[in-house]
């Protein structure tokens, strides 16, 4: 009888622990957001929590930028604690699909090909394409994309930025690069003559580095609205889309511009 009672106690404890564990998972009150933290002013990495930066999961570093501010508003609206998960660009969609993160808030465009695998919220920013070049160089005063005929141009890997380079007649299209910091290094060293970016990043690059200039075209790249829009990436049928859209509807275009302008001012010099 004593042995039987002991066995029942052990089973009861085991079942209780299992239920507590399941309950903890079910009641998880975090909102895990994936981003590169390397695409200023949308998102970047810094060493402290200044200007409202959020600690990166599993790191001593913090993430700041426009995407972080939007993520904070969404997390607040959902009543959840924001957790930033620093993830390489190519790893964002797999991380979302595997459940490692709840959303992608990383300056991602809601392109048709991406919609085949993930869902998107309404837009939370809209931009257009520019070129980042060396200040004082041969291309600083360009007004048309065709002024870059013969130039060594690149863009980030697996983005529409890279595909539009083909619109430049006679361009010397270089291999795509993994990140914007890598492209900035290549530009400053003269390995490339310029890289395609969106206007906020172009302003960010030329603000952070006095050797860079942003070319804002008179005759620019042909793009579609879905290319230049920015939205939150979500797992298919995640159940969060409607709630997030409601929160985003409360952020006016004027607010978006103000948040972006502040992000550009607050970016660390190294980003």
Write out pLDDT tens, residues 191-234. Answer: 999 999 999 999 999 998 999 999 999 999 999 988 999 999 99
Question: Is residue 197 a part of any domain in this protein?
Answer: yes
Question: Is residue 13 a part of any domain in this protein?
Answer: no
- 242 and 192 in a common domain: no
Average pLDDT, the chain: 91
- 143 and 116 in a common domain: no
Looking at residue 8, its pLDDT comes to: 43
- 112 and 239 in a common domain: yes
pLDDT at 14 over 60: no
- 119 and 39 in a common domain: yes
pTM of the model: 0.79
Residue that is last in its domain, among 222, 238, 254: 222
Looking at residue 27, its pLDDT comes to: 52
Where is 111: in which H helix or E strand? none
Any idea what the CATH number is for the domain that residue 43 is in?
A: 3.40.190.10
| Length, in residues, of the chain | 271
Question: Is residue 17 a part of any domain in this protein?
Answer: no
pLDDT at 12 over 50: no
Distance CA 48, CA 54 (A): 9
- 257 and 240 in a common domain: yes
Strand, coil or helix: 55: strand
CB within 8 Å of 211: residues ≥ 6 apart: 134, 135, 188
* Residue of 234, 179, 230 whose CA lies nearest to 205: 179
pLDDT digit string (tens) for 174-191?
A: 999 999 999 999 999 999
* Residue 193 near residue 155 (C-beta atoms within 8 A): no
Q: Which long-range contacts (CB under 8 A, 24 or more apart) does 258-263 make?
A: 259/66, 259/69, 259/70, 260/41, 260/66, 260/125, 260/200, 262/69, 263/40, 263/41, 263/42, 263/64, 263/65, 263/66, 263/69, 263/200
| DSSP one-letter code for 228 | H
- Characterize 21-47 residue by residue with b for buried, 16 or more Cβ atoms within 10 angstroms of its Cβ, and e for exposed: eeeeeeeeeebbbbbbbbbbbbbbbbe
Q: Tokens 């994309």 sit at which residue?
A: 145
Kindly state the percentage of the chain with pLDDT values over 70: 89
pLDDT digit string (tens) for 80-112?
A: 999 999 999 999 999 999 999 999 999 999 999
Task: Please give the tally of structural domains in the chain.
Answer: 2
Cα of first residue to Cα of last residue in the chain, in angstroms, is 70
Distance CA 36, CA 13 (A): 42
Both structure tokens of 209: 């580095």
Distance CA 109, CA 225 (A): 9
Strand, coil or helix: 46: strand
Q: With helix as H, strand as E and coil as C, how does 187-226 read?
A: HHHCCCCEEEEEHHHHHHHHHHCCCEEEECCCECCCCCHH
Question: Is residue 137 a part of any domain in this protein?
Answer: yes
Question: Is residue 271 a part of any domain in this protein?
Answer: no
What is the extent of the structural domain holding 101?
29-126+227-266
Our CA angle for 264, 203, 74, nearest 5°, is: 40
pLDDT digit string (tens) for 134-169?
A: 999 999 999 999 999 999 999 999 999 999 999 999
- 213 and 92 in a common domain: no
- 87 and 120 in a common domain: yes
- 255 and 193 in a common domain: no
Q: For 52-71, what is the mean pLDDT?
A: 98
- 137 and 213 in a common domain: yes
Distance CA 177, CA 183 (A): 7
């Amino acid at each position: 009888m004593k042995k039987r009672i002991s066995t029942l106690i052990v089973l009861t404890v085991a079942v209780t622990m299992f239920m507590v564990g399941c309950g903890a998972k079910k009641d998880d009150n975090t909102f895990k957001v994936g981003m590169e933290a390397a695409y200023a002013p949308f998102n970047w990495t810094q060493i402290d929590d200044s200007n409202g930066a959020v600690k990166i999961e599993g790191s001593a570093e913090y993430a700041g930028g426009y995407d972080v501010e939007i993520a904070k508003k969404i997390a607040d609206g959902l009543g959840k604690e924001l957790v930033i998960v620093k993830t390489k660009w190519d790893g964002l969609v797999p991380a979302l699909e595997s459940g490692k993160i709840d959303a992608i808030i990383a300056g991602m465009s809601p392109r048709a090909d991406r919609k085949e695998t993930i869902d998107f919220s309404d837009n939370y920013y809209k931009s257009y394409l520019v070129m980042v070049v060396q200040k004082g160089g041969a291309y600083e005063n360009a007004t048309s994309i065709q002024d870059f005929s013969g130039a060594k141009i690149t863009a980030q890997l697996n983005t529409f930025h890279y595909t539009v380079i083909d619109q430049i007649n006679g361009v010397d299209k270089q291999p795509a690069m993994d990140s914007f910091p890598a492209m900035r290094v290549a530009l400053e060293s003269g390995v490339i003559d310029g890289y395609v970016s969106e206007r906020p990043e172009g302003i960010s690059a030329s603000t952070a580095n006095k050797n860079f200039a942003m070319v804002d075209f008179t005759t620019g790249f042909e793009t579609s609205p879905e290319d230049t829009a920015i939205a939150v990436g979500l797992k298919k049928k995640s159940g969060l889309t409607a709630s997030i859209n409601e929160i985003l509807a409360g952020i006016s275009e004027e607010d978006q511009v103000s948040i972006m302008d502040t992000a550009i001012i607050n970016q660390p010099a190294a980003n």
